């Protein structure tokens, strides 16, 4: 078991693909995560779940050789995700994508 | 034949002989007029600081070079000191060094060329946007007094967002802050920041209005290059186009960016932006208290006005009812008066008729002539009675006077005055004979003016002579 990288990483979205920061990319490789499924949690928040084993048919995307992860267009449109940077954070066995982060002046703090 | 006159200038042009000083001064004047306050770019070579404090070096590029001098006062004020091999922008003027007939560049400011170019670009963009009116004070929008939702475009990494949220939490917990993550320097940062500003200007998903009440564009401190994203025209125009008020909080207090000019407010730091935007709860509570007092006063005033109006309306209604009642009674009074006047007139008329009848009757039974006759007769009788009375009185007065005269003659006092006396005994009886005055009796003798008391000592019959009283004693009595 490898300790996930701490902190929030800024990742640009270019031409529909997320460029993973090297520490997160390395972590995914070490965990053996190469297939992913996107779950929209709310308008500002998605979760990238690694797809492992028999559920492989439900994946949405996989890493390109240069570390890009393509996000389906309908998903991007549904959360108003355009060419911008997003925050990535390893949480609960997945990668949370904070397209925007709402701070209700309590709880979550970026490191 | 007409004579043509030809004129020739007999004087050759005057020969002007310059001294070297005059020539140098003239050249200096020309240079100063044309090459003062200019910028020139090149690489520094042969920089040397002399013990005098002046710095000399050569500025050169691929095609030319110029000697440069930086005088001591300027040199010590320079932030960037001249160094060999550094590309710089120099500001200054061209001067002449008479001793060697050389011209040189007198340095007033030095900037490394990269930063200097940025500064020039900054000034150029600032000038252009200023001309477009993007900095006009009239465009500035007020911040919402009590924002509920704040959008911020900045990096999720670093202290900016953490400090910002901490300040918001401390001052007024419960306000929502939505971070649009953006690279704030380097490649992609302009697109990220611009996209973030545009995002917060869009209507919220499923709503008609943007999500945030106010937008903050923030970044921590850094060099001019680090902050350059916020001097980009795209960012400036995105800020200008934002439908919600924008606060620019870029760098430290001394850093000024184009975003600061375009934004509705400039905060010296991101934390200061949080303090600028959000009031403290105490501020709000005080404001609520003030509003409560103000509204209470307003309500009390309104109630007073309404109460007064109500009283006035009640009074008006009472007066109206009273007036109506009075009018009804006045009407009845008028009727009574009219009837009374008619009745009185009837009575007067009847009394007049009666009076006329009585007057007619009185004419037949008038006692006045009879009374006049009787009065005349009475007057006449009175006159006669008075005459008779006077006559009778005259007769009686005459008799009275006669009797008075007689009575005067008989008055004993007249006799006494002639020397006679009246003798009275103790019982007051006039002594007429000796019987009434025995011996030893005390007698009173009345004279005309006095009286005497005497004692009888001897009594005898009356003789014509020698009759006298013996032992007669008398004494006066007062």
Nearest by CB to B180, from A100, A105, A111: name it: A100
User: Do the chains contact at A84 and B175, CB–CB below 8 Å?
Assistant: no
* C-alpha gyration radius of chain B: 77
Q: Which residues pair with B41 in a beta bridge?
A: B89
CA distances from B264 to A63, B199, B228, B241, B375 (A): 43, 18, 19, 11, 130
Q: Mind telling me how many Å the CA of B128 is from chain A's nearest CA?
A: 28
Gap between the Cα atoms of B248 and B273, Å rounded: 8
| Closest residue by Cα to residue A69 from A105, A99, A28, A100 | A28
Chains A–B, number of C-beta pairs less than 8 Å apart: 85
* C-alpha gyration radius of chain A: 13
The contacts of residue A20 (CB under 8 Å, 6+ apart) are A11, A28, A63, A67, A68, A69, A88
- Chain A hits for B274, CB-CB cut-off 8 Å, are none
Q: Which two tokens stand for residue B201?
A: 């200007």
Instruction: Read off the DSSP letter of residue B478.
Output: -
Q: Which residues pair with B154 in a beta bridge?
A: B181
User: Do the chains contact at B174 and A105, CB–CB below 8 Å?
Assistant: yes
- Answer whether B191's CB lies under 8 Å from B164's CB: no
- Answer whether B139's CB lies under 8 Å from A88's CB: no
At residue B447, the 3 state secondary structure works out as: coil
User: Do the chains contact at A12 and B177, CB–CB below 8 Å?
Assistant: no
Gap between the Cα atoms of A34 and A68, Å rounded: 11
- Answer whether B149's CB lies under 8 Å from B277's CB: no
Q: Which residues pair with B265 in a beta bridge?
A: B247
Angle at which helices B233-241 and B113-132 cross, to 10° = 30
Of the residues A21, A103, A107, A109, the best mutation for testing chain B's interface (the one with the most B CB atoms within 10 Å of its CB) is: A103
User: Do the chains contact at A10 and B191, CB–CB below 8 Å?
Assistant: no
CA distances from B267 to B23, B130, B210, B219 (A): 56, 20, 22, 11
Gap between the Cα atoms of A58 and A49, Å rounded: 11
Nearest by CB to A82, from B165, B176, B195: name it: B195
| Closest residue by Cα to residue B421 from B450, B453, B446 | B446
Residue of A nearest to B187 (CA): A12
Nearest by CB to A103, from B165, B191, B202: name it: B165
Burial of B474 (0-12, 13-18, 19+ CB in 10 A): middle
Q: Write out pLDDT tens, residues B359-384.
A: 888 777 777 878 899 999 999 999 99
Edge to edge, the sheet with strand A94-98 lists A61-62, A35-42, A45-50, A94-98, A85-91, A9-14, A17-19, A68-70
The contacts of residue B24 (CB under 8 Å, 6+ apart) are B96, B98, B101
Q: Which two tokens stand for residue B470?
A: 């013996």
Can you spell out the DSSP letters for A75-92? HHHHTT--SSEEEEEEET
Nearest by CB to A85, from B176, B178, B183: name it: B183
Question: Would you give per-residue pLDDT tens digits along chain B (478 residues)?
Answer: 444 444 555 566 678 888 888 888 888 888 888 888 899 988 888 889 888 889 999 999 888 999 999 999 888 887 778 887 778 889 999 988 888 888 899 999 888 776 666 777 788 888 889 999 999 989 999 999 888 899 999 998 888 988 998 898 888 878 888 999 999 988 889 999 999 999 999 887 778 889 899 999 999 888 777 888 999 999 999 999 999 999 999 988 788 899 999 999 999 888 899 998 988 877 778 888 999 999 999 999 999 999 999 888 888 888 888 888 888 888 888 888 889 999 999 999 999 999 999 888 877 777 787 889 999 999 999 999 999 999 999 999 999 999 988 888 887 777 788 888 888 988 888 888 888 888 888 999 988 888 899 999 988 876 654 444 444 444 444 3
Angle at which helices B233-241 and B189-201 cross, to 10° = 10
Chain B: which residues have CB within 8 Å of chain A? 155-157, 161-162, 165, 168-169, 172-183, 188, 191-192, 195-196, 199, 202, 205
User: Do the chains contact at A10 and B173, CB–CB below 8 Å?
Assistant: no
Nearest by CB to A87, from B172, B173, B181: name it: B181
- Answer whether B252's CB lies under 8 Å from B221's CB: yes
Nearest by CB to B156, from A14, A43, A101: name it: A101
- Answer whether B55's CB lies under 8 Å from B48's CB: yes
Backbone φ, ψ for residue B424 (5° rounding): -125, 140
- Check if A108 contacts B (Cβ < 8 Å): no
User: Do the chains contact at A103 and B178, CB–CB below 8 Å?
Assistant: yes
User: Do the chains contact at B182 and A43, CB–CB below 8 Å?
Assistant: no
Q: Mind telling me how many Å the CA of B125 is from chain A's nearest CA?
A: 25
| Closest residue by Cα to residue B81 from B70, B91, B96 | B70
At residue A30, the 3 state secondary structure works out as: helix
- Check if A100 contacts B (Cβ < 8 Å): yes
Gap between the Cα atoms of B243 and B260, Å rounded: 17
- Chain B hits for A85, CB-CB cut-off 8 Å, are 181-183, 188, 192
Q: Which two tokens stand for residue B257?
A: 């960016």
**ipTM for the predicted complex:** 0.73
- Chain A hits for B192, CB-CB cut-off 8 Å, are 12, 84-85
| Closest residue by Cα to residue B148 from B127, B106, B176 | B176
- Check if A6 contacts B (Cβ < 8 Å): no
User: Do the chains contact at B182 and A44, CB–CB below 8 Å?
Assistant: no
Q: Write out pLDDT tens, residues B290-316.
A: 999 999 999 999 999 999 998 888 888
Backbone φ, ψ for residue B31 (5° rounding): -65, -45
Q: Which helix H or strand E contains B320, and what residues bound it?
A: helix B281-364
Q: Which two tokens stand for residue B455?
A: 């004692």
Nearest by CB to A10, from B157, B176, B178: name it: B157
What dotted CATH number matches A9-103? Answer: 3.40.1550.20
Give the count of beta carbons closer than 10 Å to the beta carbon of residue B105.
23
Burial of A103 (0-12, 13-18, 19+ CB in 10 A): buried
- Answer whether B59's CB lies under 8 Å from B45's CB: yes
Find the angle CA(B141)-CA(B144)-CA(B148) to the nearest 5 degrees.
140
Q: Write out pLDDT tens, residues B25-74.
A: 888 888 888 888 899 988 888 889 888 889 999 999 888 999 999 999 88
pTM over 0.80: no
Q: Any long-range contacts for B265-271 (C-beta under 8 Å, 24+ apart)? A: B265/B140, B265/B143, B267/B216, B270/B154, B270/B160, B270/B161, B270/B163, B270/B164, B270/B216, B270/B218, B270/B219, B270/B220, B271/B163, B271/B164, B271/B167
User: Do the chains contact at A84 and B169, CB–CB below 8 Å?
Assistant: no
**Strands, E, within B310-450: which ranges?**
422-424, 442-446
**Which of A 67-96 lie inside 8 A of B, CB atoms?**
80, 82-87
Of the residues A17, A84, A99, the best mutation for testing chain B's interface (the one with the most B CB atoms within 10 Å of its CB) is: A84
Residue A55 in this model has a pLDDT that exceeds 80: no
- Answer whether B264's CB lies under 8 Å from B246's CB: yes
- Chain B hits for A84, CB-CB cut-off 8 Å, are 180-182, 191-192, 195-196, 199
Q: Which two tokens stand for residue B307?
A: 């109460």
Q: Quick one: pLDDT at residue B6?
A: 47
Nearest by CB to B191, from A83, A87, A99: name it: A83
Residue corresponding to tokens 């921590």: B220
- Check if A7 contacts B (Cβ < 8 Å): yes
The contacts of residue B54 (CB under 8 Å, 6+ apart) are B69, B70, B71, B72, B75
């Amino acid at each position: 078991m490898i300790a996930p990288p701490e902190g929030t990483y800024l990742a640009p979205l270019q031409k529909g693909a997320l460029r993973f920061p090297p520490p997160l990319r390395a972590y995914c490789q070490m965990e053996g995560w190469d297939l992913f499924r996107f779950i929209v949690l709310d308008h500002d928040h998605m979760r990238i779940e690694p797809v492992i084993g028999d559920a492989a048919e439900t994946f949405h995307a996989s890493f390109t050789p240069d570390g890009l992860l393509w996000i389906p267009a309908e998903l991007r449109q549904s959360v108003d995700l355009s060419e911008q940077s997003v925050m990535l954070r390893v949480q609960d066995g997945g990668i949370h994508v904070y397209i925007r982060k709402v701070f209700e002046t309590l709880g979550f703090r970026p490191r | 034949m007409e004579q043509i006159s030809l004129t020739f200038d007999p004087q050759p042009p005057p020969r002007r002989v310059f001294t070297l000083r005059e020539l140098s001064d003239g050249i200096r004047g020309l240079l100063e007029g044309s090459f003062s306050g200019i910028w020139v770019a090149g690489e520094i070579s042969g920089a040397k600081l002399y013990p005098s404090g002046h710095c000399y070096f050569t500025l050169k590029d691929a095609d030319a070079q110029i000697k440069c001098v930086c005088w001591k006062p300027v040199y010590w004020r320079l932030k960037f000191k001249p160094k060999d091999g550094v590309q710089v922008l120099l500001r200054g003027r061209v001067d002449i060094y008479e001793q060697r007939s050389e011209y040189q560049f007198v340095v007033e400011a030095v900037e490394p060329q990269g930063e200097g170019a940025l500064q020039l670009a900054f000034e150029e963009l600032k000038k252009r946007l200023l001309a477009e009116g993007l900095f006009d004070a009239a465009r500035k929008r007020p911040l919402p007094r009590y924002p509920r939702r704040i959008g911020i475009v900045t990096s999720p990494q670093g202290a900016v967002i953490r400090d910002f949220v901490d300040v918001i939490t401390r001052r007024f917990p419960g306000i929502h802050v939505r971070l649009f993550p953006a690279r704030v320097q380097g490649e992609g940062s302009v697109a990220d920041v611009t996209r973030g500003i545009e995002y917060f200007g869009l209507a919220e998903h499923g709503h008609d209005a943007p999500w945030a009440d106010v937008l903050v564009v923030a970044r921590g401190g850094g060099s001019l290059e680090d902050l350059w994203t916020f001097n980009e025209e795209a960012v400036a125009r995105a800020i200008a186009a934002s439908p919600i008020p924008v606060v620019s909080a870029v760098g430290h207090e001394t850093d000024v960016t184009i975003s600061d000019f375009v934004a509705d407010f400039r905060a010296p730091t991101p934390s200061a932006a949080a303090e600028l935007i959000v009031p403290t709860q105490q501020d709000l509570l005080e404001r609520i208290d003030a509003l409560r007092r103000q509204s209470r006063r307003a309500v009390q005033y309104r109630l007073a006005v309404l109460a007064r109006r109500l009283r006035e309306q009640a009074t008006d209604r009472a007066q109206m009812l009273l007036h109506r009642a009075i009018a009804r009674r006045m009407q009845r009074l008028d009727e009574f008066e009219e009837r009374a006047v008619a009745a009185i007139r009837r009575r007067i008329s009847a009394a007049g008729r009666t009076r006329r009848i009585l007057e007619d009757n009185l004419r037949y039974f008038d006692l006045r002539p009879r009374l006049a006759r009787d009065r005349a007769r009475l007057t006449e009788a009175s006159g006669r009675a008075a005459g008779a009375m006077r006559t009778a009185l005259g007769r009686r007065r005459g008799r009275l006077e006669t009797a008075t005269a007689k009575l005067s003659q008989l008055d004993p006092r007249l006799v006494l005055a002639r020397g006679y006396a009246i003798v009275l005994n103790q019982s007051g009886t006039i002594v007429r004979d000796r019987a009434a005055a025995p011996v030893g009796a005390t007698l009173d003798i009345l004279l005309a003016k006095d009286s005497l008391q005497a004692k009888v000592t001897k009594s005898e019959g009356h003789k014509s002579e020698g009759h006298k009283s013996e032992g007669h004693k008398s004494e006066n009595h007062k």
